[in-house]
A and B are shown apart, each in its own frame.
Chain A
Amino acid sequence: MKAEHRQGWLFVSPWVIGFLLLTAGPMLYSLYLSFTAASLLSPPEWVGLENYRRLASDPLFYRSLGNTAVYALMGVPAGLLLSLGLALLLNAPVRGQGFFRTLFFLPSVTNTVALSLLWLWLLNPEFGLLNAGLRGCGLAGPLWLQSEAWAKPALVLMSLWTAGGQAVIFLAALQGVPRELTEAAAIDGAGPVRRFFTITLPMISPALLFNLIMGLVGALQVFTSAFVMTGGVQPGSEGGPNQATLFIVLYLYKKAFQEFEMGYASALAWVLFALITACTALAFRLARERVHYESATP
């Protein structure tokens, strides 16, 4: 090995060691656990594929899978649209631009538990600000988190509060769009909408793909807000009314730490990992022809 390589490995070794010990090691151990009947409190017993077979016939697994899919289908596009819209507004040359950028970015660095507690109040069916506003408009507000139909949209609504994080990435991409392209299009008679769809959107497509994948991964792993807001106090009430917000990670947590079924929870974790990998791969595949990388152009 060349001295340069050795030095390189030496410099990255703190991260590599940390990754092996704290990420890769536990991941492999959880893979092993997924083939055992490990309880949180007792040593694992090898059961082969039993946990995976059980998953296939577990109605709550399918319920959590469906809930997660619906949440992702609602939350990811809504988040992308909102953050792109915000980025377009923040890109406009207006006074106090820095202030607005900070304002919209702030919620995304706020602790999710704190945000969830705030939204618990906002969404309170009796005294929440949202329903008070709706009542002011002569509308009867829904039960939000207490309603099977509205619990997921309520969590999606809350997730949009942190769209500022994605908006910053879009903003950076928007600022990288060469002005001469849009100006040339404008001279050729293209209106703002046409310029957006034919120039801006293709130019920021790598950022769009990045935000899509990160949003998808985040949505499939949704946990904190569901746990804090619909975790339930009574045994069995985890996951909101009629288990409407029992997402995969919440179900996994319940199995591992409340029912002590660490082996089964590990199997759930690996199924989720496979699902996220498949979704990401699909997104890359679909994006292959649609994402424009400037460096790839001749």
Chain B
Amino acid sequence: MRPLTGILLSLALLLAGCRRSSGPDRTIVYNCAASTADMAALRPAQEQFFARTGIRVKLNPFSGEEKLYAMIAAGQAPDVFYTNSAVRDRLAAEGRLLDLRPWLETDPLWRRLRPEVRAAAASADGGVYSLSNWSQTCGVYYNRALFAAAGIPAPTADWTWADLRAAAKALTKVGGPGGRTERYGIFIPAHFIEALEQMNHAPLEKDALFLTIPPEAREVYAEYLGLIRAGAMPDVRRVQALGMQAAQMLESGRVAMLVEAVPHAGLAETLTIDWAVAPLPRFGGKEPRYFRSASGGLSISAATKNPADARRTLTWLIGEAAPYQPNPVLADVPFVAAWEEKYPRLRGRGFREVWELSERHPGGDPRYFVRFASWAMGPVMSRFQPWLDRLWSGDATLDQVVAAVPGVNAGVRQDLERQLRSQSLRPAWKAALEHELSAAPK
């Protein structure tokens, strides 16, 4: 064989070897918002999924929402990614998310989801653009040893805000150098105030376009400030600083009680003190409405080249992938028992009671970034948050904050009317926003 022929033959063979497989590309890119450890845990499950279905899930570490939006804008969106409630509808209205509704109508996954998860999934145009992959409530984590030492009975399902306030005051210990507080009775991160508003039966509209502060919410703000002024809770600005995690405060004994998410694997695994968790306190004789969140979830890009595999991946991530099981969004899973089995340290610490109460008295997710419509969340919060900052710093009174609401809403209306002028909004969304805006009082 001549050398030239040999080289040409080798090249042809090489090219043939490099040729792409004639079958469809079954790789699904999943923008995975998880820690390194969680991603490592997902890898074996991913291999099993590939062996079973032939779908290769490529994990793309989540590196910021802004980057995700830029990828979507550039037409390089991952096939499956996490969206929070605040942007889900905006992305959907611009035609960037796949409507899962036609598929879900016949898929068993939809029937497996808990009612609040199905309710949270519905968008203003009737479509379903994301499915929650997690659900939680919140409770009062407390240091049992401190309660016992102070002779305060452990909180029960019937305890009230007055009980909590009294316990917080009794557990506060002043006596550090210069009269410093050595231990605060409680710390409630500011983003849980909305859960207390709900317990006090503040009427909180879902998908609201405008800000309201009903009297019940006002009462809660006053109580919250009261705890700080009484010295039973640290100044919210001091502990909102990054670097001071609320859990460390409980662990180190700087606070005796802490309001946090339930379940919270991190807390369960790291706390070394004698702790337990209690449900949120009731407000007077009012029936409880516990915080239940199914906000945010997994969406499929409208630009995915393989919707069937993307949907199968979504089903796997929510209902099957081992690291995410037992998943509280599924109604057919004995969540509490399975979770206690996964985290045995939870047994006998009140987790079961808190979770079951929240299932019996679900109040939904009252957080600002959930209850405001996707269109209004940014305009509302960019105007309202500075007022909250002034409230915390004592530069504004509660009355002034309430009086500022009409001004906040006037600005929000301007922003919404400008959004309505956008020609890129799909008609169904435009009509929905127009309708809501015209129905809202000026």
Partner-B contacts on A (CB < 8 A): 37, 39-43, 45, 60, 120-121, 123-127, 135, 143, 145-148, 229, 232, 234-238, 241-243, 253, 257-260
A235 near B237 with CB under 8 A, answer no
Measured between beta carbons, the chain B residues less than 8 angstroms from A259 are 378
Q: A235-B86, A243-B386 are in contact. Are A124 and B378 (CB under 8 A)?
A: no
* A242 CA / B423 CA spacing, docked (Å): 34
A235 near B368 with CB under 8 A, answer yes
Query: B286 interface residue, CB < 8 Å from A?
Result: no
B422 near A45 with CB under 8 A, answer yes
Minimum C-beta distance from A29 to chain B (A): 14
Q: A39-B424, A41-B96, A234-B191 are in contact. Are A125 and B241 (CB under 8 A)?
A: yes
Measured between beta carbons, the chain B residues less than 8 angstroms from A37 are 421-422
Measured between beta carbons, the chain A residues less than 8 angstroms from B239 are 126
Minimum C-beta distance from B178 to chain A (A): 8
B86 near A40 with CB under 8 A, answer no
* A229 CA / B72 CA spacing, docked (Å): 27
Stretch of B152-160, B215-223, B388-396 with 4 or more beta carbons under 8 angstroms from chain A: B388-396
Measured between beta carbons, the chain A residues less than 8 angstroms from B70 are 40, 257
Contacts A41-B69, A45-B422, A146-B240 known; 16 new A-B pairs at CB < 8 A: A37-B422, A45-B423, A120-B243, A123-B241, A124-B243, A126-B234, A126-B238, A143-B237, A145-B241, A148-B393, A234-B385, A235-B381, A235-B385, A237-B389, A258-B378, A260-B90
Q: A45-B422, A124-B243 are in contact. Are A242 and B386 (CB under 8 A)?
A: yes
Measured between beta carbons, the chain B residues less than 8 angstroms from A257 are 66, 69-70
- Return the CB mask of B98-136 against A: 1 if under 8 Å, else 0: 000000000000000000000000000000000000000
A-B contact pairs, 30 of them (CB 8 A): A39-B422, A39-B424, A41-B72, A41-B91, A41-B96, A42-B94, A42-B424, A45-B422, A120-B241, A120-B243, A124-B244, A126-B238, A126-B239, A143-B235, A145-B241, A147-B393, A232-B385, A234-B190, A235-B368, A236-B382, A238-B382, A241-B393, A242-B386, A242-B389, A242-B390, A242-B395, A257-B66, A257-B70, A258-B65, A260-B69
A127 near B243 with CB under 8 A, answer yes
Q: Which of B94, B238, B421 contacts A146 (CB 8 A)?
A: B238
Nearest B residue to A264 via CB reads: B418
Minimum C-beta distance from B183 to chain A (A): 13
B377 near A235 with CB under 8 A, answer yes
Q: Which of B237, B381, B424 contacts A41 (CB 8 A)?
A: B424
Measured between beta carbons, the chain A residues less than 8 angstroms from B91 are 41
* A238 CA / B70 CA spacing, docked (Å): 20
Nearest B residue to A60 via CB reads: B382
Q: Which of B72, B96, B242, B423 contacts A120 (CB 8 A)?
A: B242
Query: B62 interface residue, CB < 8 Å from A?
Result: no
Query: B73 interface residue, CB < 8 Å from A?
Result: yes
Size of the chain B interface, CB-CB below 8 angstroms: 44
Partner-A contacts on B (CB < 8 A): 65-66, 69-70, 72-73, 86, 90-91, 94, 96, 178, 190-191, 234-235, 237-244, 368-369, 377-378, 380-386, 389-390, 392-393, 395, 421-424
* A229 CA / B69 CA spacing, docked (Å): 22
Most A CB within 10 A of own CB, among B234, B244, B377, B390: B244
Nearest A residue to B377 via CB reads: A235
* A83 CA / B390 CA spacing, docked (Å): 36
Minimum C-beta distance from B94 to chain A (A): 4
* A243 CA / B395 CA spacing, docked (Å): 14
Measured between beta carbons, the chain A residues less than 8 angstroms from B243 are 120-121, 124, 127
Nearest B residue to A254 via CB reads: B382
* A243 CA / B382 CA spacing, docked (Å): 9
* A223 CA / B385 CA spacing, docked (Å): 20
Measured between beta carbons, the chain A residues less than 8 angstroms from B234 are 126
Measured between beta carbons, the chain A residues less than 8 angstroms from B73 are 40-41
Nearest B residue to A54 via CB reads: B418
* A145 CA / B190 CA spacing, docked (Å): 17
